[in-house]
Structure 1
Amino acid sequence: MTDAISSVLAQIRAHEMRTRGLGDVAGSNAIDPGAAGVQPGASAPQGGFSATLSRAVDNVSKVQAEAGELQRAFEMGDPRADLARVMVAMQQSQVAFRATVEVRNRLVQAYQDVMNMPV
Structure 2
Amino acid sequence: MSQIDTQSLMLQMRSLAAQAQAKPVEELTESSQTGQEKVDGFSDLLAKSIEGVNTEMHKSGSMKKAFEKGDPDMELSEVMLQAQKASLSFQAMTQIRNKLVEAYKTVINMPM
Question: 2: distance between equivalents of 1:61 and 1:110?
Answer: 24
Q: Map residues 1-80 of structure 1 onto 2, 5 A cutoff.
A: 1-2=4-5, 3-18=7-22, 22=23, 47-80=40-73
1:84 is matched with which residue? Answer: 77
Q: In structure 1, what residue type is equivalent to 2:68?
A: E
Which whole-Å deviations, capped at 9, do the CAs of 1:11-62 have from their partners, x for residues lacking one?
30331232xxx45xxxxxxxxxxxxxxxxxxxx9853111111111111111
RMSD: 2.0
Structure 1 unaligned residues grouped into runs of 5+: 24-43
Task: Give the structure with higher Rg (CA).
Answer: 2
5+ residue gaps, structure 2, are 25-36
Name the residue aligned to 1:113: 106
Structure 1-normalised TM-score? 0.71
Q: TM-score, normalised by structure 2?
A: 0.75
Aligned length: 96
Deviation at 1:70, TM superposition (A): 0.4
Structure with a larger share of its residues in helix: 2
Q: Which residue of 2 aligns with 1:37?
A: none
List, as ranges, runs of 4+ consecutive aligned residues in structure 1 with deviation greater than 6 Å: none
The residue identity in structure 1 corresponding to 2:60 is: A
